[in-house]
Structure formats: structure tokens, C-alpha cells
A and B are shown apart, each in its own frame.
Chain A
């Protein structure tokens, strides 16, 4: 896939892109959120 030789390398490439997308979504969703408040609520 993508001209690469094994699935591990494909997963590494796709995984890097996927985790970046997760970070982007997290950053956008939490843009105005200061969630450090109340972290210790128990």
C-alpha cells in the first residue's frame, strides 16, 4: 500500500497522520477551555 513494503511501515505513516488529526481536533474543540480548573474534584 502507498508503494511501501510492509504493513508496519504503512501503519507508522498512517498512524502519524491520524494522531496529528486527533491533536488538531483536540486543539480546536478545547480552544477556549481551561480544563485545569476542577481537575482535583473528587
Chain B
């Protein structure tokens, strides 16, 4: 490694020691994994600290730290609304209003995965298989952007080619995910979550310290606002007005920030299959109450730090008079050669002393590995537990099929990570969260709260959610429709509706209400579920 003040031997030793520790925890989990309940739900006996840290570590990835941290470098501190949404929706609402009922109904129905939960709740093996397929198809997109985030970090810090960074990263993750099961993963995640909190807190403190304190740092960033028009005229035209203000109302940037990032990612967190399964791993609702405390602090310190530092990196790179920017004198996005995914890795490499870099490397490794492990786990269980077991009408899980599913998911993610364009990390995450929200949220909510929801209604909701999201991405949302090219080939234009703001409104904004409307409309006219089944689902403890 050639980074400033970094000793290759110490660095290599530290990484090896960390990987061995992770391997040991994964192995302990593997040894304690006796059956599919252990493998898929960690035996339903996880303590609240481990559960909350694991949830947080699976929730927050390099996509959040590197991808959205980079977006903060580009968009500014308006992205702090996403921190608010992550805590209010992704933690409080998720644990208190979704988690407790998910756990209770999941136990009553003996559900071990998200598709199985929905399938059993609505007595439809077909629905379970359909949801499993949706997960299996779309999760690799998210896995790949998390991989990209980690690999970009390794690339910049170790100064190795991207392909090598990707290969090393994916190999380390794959080894322990395939063998660990959820019990192994959750203990490793808890360790990783702790490392992430320490690393991000250190980064925030270092950043404010180097920029002269909290208010002087913010003030310096505020004073840079006129540079937008001067250095980034195209972004200015799109609504960028500085890094400590929101983009201009109703501009392209405003719609991107509000519809895709704030609402899409903020609300989408509620319907993440890899996160919902964690609610079923605890013994009682008490553990979830305690997890609210741990989880909220975790989110505030990790993503709050990443977004703040991302925005403040502009001061770091531009203000040569403060003696911190070296020879850059550039805005963050310029220093990152136009790729927002590189802002945080380059900032960390340039701003942090060598010793801190070690910890930070582990932080990023942890952030990526914890999320990827949960994503690969949910990919494998979707295909092994939910799909093939149902098709084969087997009594027991075939863990080999689950692991083959994981390997397939890993390979698919690596291929995506190789071919996706630069600057895709945050966008890919927003697409995945938006699809999850539209496809699963109405069904998931009704599974928990509406006894009148029917099997046909949920089928309609999931189908409409998936279809309208895909139509939105292929024909309406310019960023994707222009890249995919099908709309251009069929209709001779990059999107079907060109009137502002439609090409910039995230598909989630209309696909979620459409999916909810389909659920309500079809449920009102279709056959209800038997009262006995509903009583079983909603019975008292």
C-alpha cells in the first residue's frame, strides 16, 4: 500500500487479523447452526444489542457511507433529511410499528424468511415463490453497488486497479457468508457495527478539528456557495445553490434529492427483506424496544457523520489557505474526477493520518461486508428455502441449494459491479429501495395491520408495484430510461413524458400509491381469508 504514512506490513497484518477474527466468529456461528431455524433466524434467541447492531450494520453499507457520502459532497447537507428519515422511519417506525408485529406473526406462522412470512400470512405458496423471485432478481443490483462502494475504497486507498479491488473484496465476503448462516453473520455484524461507529465518529471529529470547529467549518462551506455558478454551471442550472442549502425548489436536483433519496430510500427501508427477517430473530418485543435505542444512535453516528463529512470535503479540497487541501484547490466532485463514489475514499486517503487509515479501512470493510453478507444470505434463502423447497415440496431445507443460490447471487453481483457505470452507487441503492417499497410495502403493511387484505389483493399489489417500477425506470425516469434505451428504440425519445418534473420524479412516487390502490381495490372485491387463519396470525401472545 502506498498511502501517506501507511506501513504495508502493519496494514496487511491488521487486515489479516481482522479477517481471522471474522472467520472465527463465522465459524462459531457455523458450529452452532444445527437446523434451518438457526441458519435462517439465528435460532430466534439473539440479544437486543447484537440484533440492533446487526440490523444497523446490514442497513448501512458502503453504499450509504461511500455512495451517499459522495452525494453529500455533490448535493450538500440537504441530504441530512435522509438521516432523519433513516432514524424516524428506518429505526423507530420499523422496530416499533413493523418489527414487533412481524416477530409475533412470524412466530405464530413459523415463518423464517420474508417471502415465507408473506406467503404464510396470505396462505399462498405461489406468492411466496413470486416474492422470492423478485428478491433473487433485484437484490444482486443492490449487492453490486455495495460491492462497488467497497471496491472503490480499496482501489483508492491501496492504489490498485478496480478489478483487483473488486475481486479481493468479493472473495473475502463470499467465504464467510457461504459458511456462516445468520447466527454467524449477526455476531460478525455486531462486531462490524461497533467498528463502524468508532471509525465514523473518528472521521467526523477529525474533519471538524481540521476545519477549525463545527460552526467555522459550516460557515466556510456556506461561503463557498457562489463557487457553484462559477465552477459547476451545469449543476447550477439543475438547481444546485450551495452545500448548506436545499437545491432550488422544483428543480431537477430538488426532485432527485426529495423523491429518490429522501423519500425513496427513507421509506424504502421499511420493506427491505434482509432487514425484516431480523425482527424474527429476537425472543420478544422487549428486545426490539431496546434495539430502538442502540439502532438510532448507530444510524446518527454512521450516516450522519458520512453525509456531514462528504459535504465538508468541499472545504477541505478547496481551501488551500487553511493548509489542508494540499495542491487540490478543487471542489470535491472535481477532486474525485467527476465520480461522486470517489469523494469519500479520496478524502479519507488525503485527510486522515496513516494510523487512522487502518481503522477506517476496517470500517469500510465492515460496512460493505455486513450488508453484503445479509444480502447474499437473503438471495440464497429466497432461492433455496422459498423457491426450490416449495417447488420440490420438500419437508426440510436443502442448505446446499441455499448456498448455491448465494454463490449465484455473488457471481451476478460481481458481474454487475464490473459493468455498471461510475457514480452508480447511490442511484443503484435508490432504485432497489424504491422497487422494494413499491413491491413489498403495501403487502407487508397489510400483513401486519389489515385483516381484510386478501390473497388476490396482495398478488395484485406486488405485481402492480413491480410492473409500475419497471415501467417507470424503462419509460419515464430519464436517468435510467435514457441509459437503458428501450424507450428510445420504441418511441424515438428518451422518456415518454418530457414535461417537467416527470422525467426527474422517482418511479417510487407513483408506483407505491398504485400498488397500495391495487391492494385495497382487489381486496374489497375478492375472497377473504378464513377467520380461523386470521385469529392464528393475530392471536395474543
Interchain residue pairs with CB less than 8 A apart (6): A4-B77, A16-B304, A19-B92, A27-B290, A32-B286, A40-B540
CB < 8 Å neighbour of A9 from B80, B88, B286: B80
Beta-carbon contact of A16 and B215 below 8 Å: no
Q: Which residues of B9-33 have CB atoms within 8 Å of chain A's CB atoms? A: none
How many chain B residues sit at the interface, stated as a range, is: 35 or more
Q: Give me 16 other A-B pairs in contact (C-beta within 8 A), A20-B299, A39-B540 excluded.
A: A2-B215, A2-B218, A3-B216, A4-B77, A4-B245, A6-B245, A9-B244, A9-B246, A15-B81, A17-B300, A19-B296, A27-B289, A27-B296, A35-B100, A37-B540, A41-B540
Residue in contact with A36 in the complex, picked from B243, B285, B294, CB distance below 8 Å: B285
Q: Measured between alpha carbons, how far is A5 from B216 in the docked complex, in Å?
A: 13
Contact of B540 among A8, A20, A38 (CB under 8 A): A38
Looking across the interface, which residue of chain A has its beta carbon closest to that of B76?
A: A9
Enumerate chain B residues within 8 angstroms of A17, measured Cβ to Cβ: 300
Task: Please determine whether B218 and A3 come into contact, CB atoms closer than 8 angstroms.
Answer: yes
Contact between chains at A36 and B77 (CB < 8 Å) = no
A23 to B219 alpha-carbon distance, docked (Å): 30
A20–B300 CB distance below 8 A: yes
Asked if residues B284 and A3 are in contact (CB atoms below 8 Å), the reply is no
Q: How far is the CA of A33 from the CA of B87 in the complex (A)?
A: 21
Interface members, chain B 82-111 (any A CB < 8 Å): 83-84, 87-88, 91-92, 96, 100-101, 103-104
- A36 near B104 (CB under 8 angstroms)? yes
Most buried by A among B92, B214, B242, B289: B289
Q: Pick the contact of A8: B243, B245, B541 (CB < 8 A).
A: B245
B292 interface contact, C-beta 8 A: yes
B96 A26 Cβ-Cβ under 8 A: yes
Q: In the assembled complex, which residues on chain A have CB atoms less than 8 Å from the CB atom of B217?
A: 3
The smallest beta-carbon distance between A10 and chain B, in angstroms, is 9
User: Are B222 and A20 touching (Cβ within 8 A)?
Assistant: no
The smallest beta-carbon distance between A39 and chain B, in angstroms, is 7
User: Could you tell me which B residues sit within 8 Å of A by CB distance?
Assistant: 76-78, 80-81, 83-84, 87-88, 91-92, 96, 100-101, 103-104, 214-222, 225, 242-246, 284-286, 289-297, 299-300, 304, 538-541
Q: Which residues of A contact B225 (CB under 8 A)?
A: 5
Q: In the bound complex, do residue B218 and residue A23 qualify as a contact, i.e. CB atoms below 8 Å apart? A: no
Query: When chains A and B are docked, how far (Å) is the Cα of A33 from the Cα of B214?
Result: 38
Question: How long is the Cα–Cα vector from A6 to B80 in the complex, in angstroms?
Answer: 13
Q: Separation in Å of the B259 CB from the closest CB of chain A?
A: 16
Closest to B244 in A: A5
A-B contact count (CB 8 A): 128
Q: A23-B295, A39-B101 are in contact. Are A9 and B77 (CB under 8 A)?
A: yes
Cα–Cα, bound, A42→B79 (Å):
42
Judge whether B78 and A12 touch: CB under 8 Å.
yes
Cα of A35 to Cα of B103 in the assembled complex, Å: 12
- Residue ID in chain A nearest B299 by CB atoms: A20
Q: Tell me how far the C-beta of B14 lies from the nearest C-beta in chain A, rounded to whole angstroms.
A: 31
CB pair A24 B244 closer than 8 Å: no
Contact A3 B295 (CB under 8 A): no
- Give the contacting residue for B214; candidates A3, A8, A15; CB below 8 A: A3
Q: Are B293 and A26 in contact (CB under 8 A)?
A: yes
- Point out the residues of chain B lying under 8 angstroms from A9, CB to CB: 76-78, 80, 244-246
Beta-carbon nearest neighbor of A13 in chain B: B80
Q: Which residues of A contact B220 (CB under 8 A)?
A: 3
Q: Within 8 Å CB of B286, what residues of A?
A: 30-34
> Chain B residues with Cβ under 8 A from A40's Cβ?
538-540
Q: Give complex CA distance A10, B96 in Å.
A: 27
Known contacts A3-B214, A3-B218, A27-B293; is-contact A19 B77 (Cβ 8 Å): no
A8 to B217, CA, bound (A): 18
A6 interface neighbour in B91, B221, B246, B541, Cβ under 8 Å: B246
Complex CA gap A21/B155 in Å reads 38
CB-based nearest A residue for B217: A3
Across the interface, name the chain B residue whose C-beta is closest to A32. Answer: B286
Residue in A15, A24, A33 whose CB lies within 8 Å of B84: A15
Q: In the complex the two chains form, is A27's CB within 8 Å of B292's CB? A: yes
With the chains together, A2 CA to B539 CA distance in Å? Answer: 50
8 Å CB contact of B292 from A15, A26, A41: A26
Given A36-B100, A40-B538, A16:B216 Cβ within 8 A:
no
- Taking CB atoms, residues of chain B closer than 8 Å to A33 are 285-286, 289
| A19→B87 contact, CB < 8 A | yes
Residues of B within 8 A of A35 (CB): 100, 285, 289
Residue pair B81, A12 in contact (C-beta under 8 Å): yes
Given contacts A12-B77, A40-B539, contact A24 B297 (CB under 8 A): yes
A28 to chain B, nearest CB (A): 7
Q: Which residue of B lies closest to A3 (CB)?
A: B218
A39, B244: Cβ atoms closer than 8 Å: no
- The distance in angstroms between the C-alpha atoms of A42 and B193, with both chains bound, is 40
- A25 CB to closest chain B CB (Å) equals 9
Q: Once bound together, how far apart are the Cα atoms of A4 and B81, in whole Å? A: 14
Chain B residues near A8 (CB-CB < 8 A): 78, 81, 245-246
| A38–B245 CA distance with the chains assembled, in angstroms | 46
Closest to A41 in B: B540
Name, among B81, B84, B304, B538, the residue most crowded by chain A CB atoms within 10 Å (CB to CB).
B84
Give the complex CA separation of A17 and B225 in angstroms: 25
Question: A16 contacts B245, CB within 8 Å?
Answer: no
Residue among B96, B245, B284, B539 making CB contact with A5, cutoff 8 Å: B245
